[in-house]
Each structure stands twice: as structure tokens, then as C-alpha cells.
Amino acid sequence: MTEQPPPYGEPYGQPPGPPPGGPYDPRWGYGPPGVPHGPQYPPPRNDDTTWAIFAYVGMLVISFLAPLIIYLVKMRESPFIRFHAAQALNLQITLLIHFLAVGAVCVPVTIATESPWFLIPLAFPYLEALFGQWVFLILGAVKAGKGQIYRFPTFFCFRMVR
């Protein structure tokens, strides 16, 4: 009985993994070393960082309208502004979804039982919106001011607007 190679792994006669220092071979995946993952954006221009900061700070003044207006006006001019405005808008939409989902479960039970105690779970998305929003707005504004891309955790910011 001859030994058969496993259906996975390295073919016979080939070294394990890409050759060190050699050219990139797509069979090994992940790309060449030193290449960052994720979408690459050109470096921001002078006013790009200002508009990206306004997308976050404007949420404190006029809620979701600031990132929405900046997104619609500037989305074709700069991918950097588009990313940060979309992320700020996604943060607001996600927090609204969290609040509405918990409310959809708690409010009917409260009405049926006529007991306000079932509204207590609404405190969690409220606190999330109150404190989490401030933390992520400040974090996003600081990163945008430095000209960096920072993606919020998915639980707090679903990517609906791209």
C-alpha cells in the first residue's frame, strides 16, 4: 500500500509556505509581508480632516443630520470624508436600532401586564447611547484629525451606509 498525500496541505516536493524573501505567490494567500489589510485610502488633503471632524462633532449639535449632509455633499470628492461621515451616520443608526429592538420587546409586555418594571431593560441601550456615543465620537474625531482611518467595533457600528 502506497502512502497517499492528504487532501490538504503542501503538495509533495514543495517547501512549506512561500519562500522567504521571494516574490509573492498567490497560492499562499494573505499577500506579501508588510502590506496592510483592508481598504486603502489616499492621504487626506488639507480640508479633508476638517470635514471628517465636523461629521463627528456635528452629531453633538444636530444629531444625524450633520454626517448625513456631509456624506451627501462630499461623498464624491474624498473617500476619506466619505468613510468618516458614513461611520458617524452608521453609529447613530446602530444606536437607534439597539434602542428600538429592546423597546419592541419591552413595551408590549409592559402594556399587557400594566407593570412599568418591564421597561427597566430600556436603560441599557439608553446608557449605551449616552456614554458609548461620546466615547466613539471623541475617538473618531481624534483619529480623523490625525488623518487616520479607524473602524468602530461592529456591535456599536454596523456598516449599513458605505
pLDDT tens by residue, 99-145: 999 999 999 999 999 888 988 999 998 898 888 888 999 999 999 99
Cell 448625513 maps to which residue? 68
Neighbours of 101 (CB within 10 A): 11
**Digitized pLDDT (tens) for each residue of the chain, 162 residues in all:** 566 555 555 555 555 555 555 555 555 555 555 555 555 667 788 799 999 999 999 988 888 899 999 999 998 998 999 999 999 999 999 999 999 999 999 999 999 998 889 889 999 988 988 888 889 999 999 999 999 888 888 878 888 887
- Per the prediction, the chain carries an average pLDDT of 81
> In terms of C-beta distances under 8 Å and separation of at least 24 residues, what long-range contacts does 129-134 make, across chains too?
129/95, 129/98, 129/99, 132/95, 132/156, 133/59, 133/91, 133/95
- Which pLDDT score, from 0 to 100, does residue 39 have? 58
- DSSP assigned state of 32: S
Q: What is the pTM of this model?
A: 0.70
- Which pLDDT score, from 0 to 100, does residue 60 have? 86
CB 90 within 8 A of CB 158: yes
What residues does each domain of the chain span? 42-145
